[in-house]
Structure 1
Amino acid sequence: MAAYELAQINIARFRLPADHVANRDFMDALDAVNAIAEASDGFVWRLVGEGNDATDVAVTDDPHVIANMSVWRDVDALAAFVYRAPEHLAIMRRRKEWFDHIDVFQALWWVPAGHRPTVAEGMARIDSLAANGPTPTAFSFKQPFAAPDGTPAAAVHDECA
C-alpha cells in the first residue's frame, strides 16, 4: 500500500445561479461523470454534499462558487480521468458557457494514505499555488512534484502543456 495519495481540488464560479436553466446540461451531467470517476482505475474518494455531488458544499462566501475535490492513487490515474474520459472532456470543453474565468482554479497535493482533505485545506492549496507557483505544497499537472516518500510524480502530461 502506498504511503501517499494524490488530492485535488478544482473550483468554479457559475455565471448564473446553479439552478438556472442555462446550467442544466452541466448539472444533469454530474451524476454520470461522477460515476465514471468512481469507476476509474486509481480513484479513491470524492467530496459529496447532500446530494450525489458537492455543488451544495460551501466553498467561499460566494454562493456561486463550487468545488470538486477528490483523492487518487497518483497523478497518472487522475490525468487519465481528467484528460481521457470522453464524458469529462465534453463537460470541460463547455466550461466557459457556465463558469467565470478564475486564474488558479485547481491544485494538486499529496496526502497521507487514508486522509480525506477538507474544503478549507483545498482552498489553502489553491491560495498557495496562486501565491507561490508550483511547490511540493501545491502543484499542477504541468509541474507535478514527487510524493514526500520519494515516489516520483508522473511526467508532464501533453494535455496540460
Structure 2
Amino acid sequence: MIQPDEYHLAELNVGRLLAPTDDPRVAEFMEALDRVNGLGKRMPGFIWMMEGSGEPGTGNTENNIGDDPQFVANLTVWEDTPSLERFVWGTIHRQFYERRQEWFELLGEMHFVMWWVPKGHKPTLSEALERLKHLRAHGPSDHAFGWNEVKEATMWRSHGCAPVAAE
C-alpha cells in the first residue's frame, strides 16, 4: 500500500446492533459513545468524523444503513495508519472493541474497509459503502483494503482481529 504525502486514511466500520439504540441491552455501549468518540477526536492524527445530530449518547448511530436503524456506521479520516491504529488498540476504545459481541450481531461478511483520500476530502457514507462493496467483491487493493494489507500495522497483528462483529 502506498501512502502519498497528499493523502489521508479513511476508514468505515459497519455493524448491526443487537437491539434498538434505546434498549437496555446496548445501553452501556450507547453511554460510552460520546466519551470514546471524544477521545478519538483529540488523538494525534485525527482529521474528521462523520457526525450524527450531536444529541448526547447517540454518537454516529443516526447514520444508519438503509432502512434499518440498528445497522450503523462509523466513518473517520486519519493522517495515517499508525494514528488510527493507536486509537483503536492503544486507548479505551480497545476495551469496547474486545466486547463488541455483547452489543453487535455477528456479520457474515467483511464490515471494515480503509482507503486513501486526498487531503481535505470528507467521504460520504455512500462513497464509503461503495469501497466496502468493492473490497467484498474484489478483495484488497489500493482502492479498498483492510488491516492485513498495511505492513506498518503492528498493534493489529499483536491484538488479533477475530471477525466476531463490527464495532
What is the TM-score normalised by the length of structure 1? Answer: 0.88
Runs of 4+ in 1 over 6 A off after TM superposition: none
**Distance (whole Å) between structure 1 residues aligned to residue 99 and residue 140 of structure 2:** 26
- Within the alignment, does 1:7 sit opposite 2:10 as a pair? yes
Per the alignment, residue 50 of structure 1 pairs with 53
Task: Specify whether residues 155 and 29 from structure 1 end up closer, same or farther in structure 2 by C-alpha distance, changes over 3 A only.
Answer: closer
Per the alignment, residue 83 of structure 2 pairs with 77
Query: 2:95 is paired with a residue of what secondary structure?
Result: helix
Superposition deviation, residue 61 in structure 1: 2.3
Aligned residues: CA RMSD: 1.7
CA distances 1:39-67 after superposition (whole Å, capped 9, x unpaired): 11100000101126211123222221000
**Distance (whole Å) between structure 2 residues aligned to residue 51 and residue 143 of structure 1:** 34
Which runs of no fewer than 5 residues in structure 2 stay unpaired?
162-167
Which runs of no fewer than 5 residues in structure 1 stay unpaired?
145-152
CA contact (8 A) 2:85 2:153 kept: no
* Alignment counterpart, residue 36 of structure 2, candidates 25, 33, 36: 33
**Distance (whole Å) between structure 1 residues aligned to residue 11 and residue 60 of structure 2:** 14
Aligned residues: 152
Per the alignment, residue 91 of structure 1 pairs with 96
**Distance (whole Å) between structure 2 residues aligned to residue 4 and residue 106 of structure 1:** 19
Per the alignment, residue 115 of structure 2 pairs with 109
**Distance (whole Å) between structure 1 residues aligned to residue 26 and residue 160 of structure 2:** 26
| Matched letter for residue 126 of structure 1 | L
Q: % of aligned pairs identical?
A: 36
- Within the alignment, does 1:68 sit opposite 2:74 as a pair? yes
What is the TM-score normalised by the length of structure 2? Answer: 0.85
Superposition deviation, residue 155 in structure 1: 4.7
Query: 1:99 is paired with a residue of what secondary structure?
Result: coil
CA contact (8 A) 2:19 2:70 kept: yes
Superposition deviation, residue 160 in structure 1: 4.2
Task: Specify whether residues 160 and 138 from structure 1 end up closer, same or farther in structure 2 by C-alpha distance, changes over 3 A only.
Answer: farther
- Within the alignment, does 1:119 sit opposite 2:125 as a pair? yes
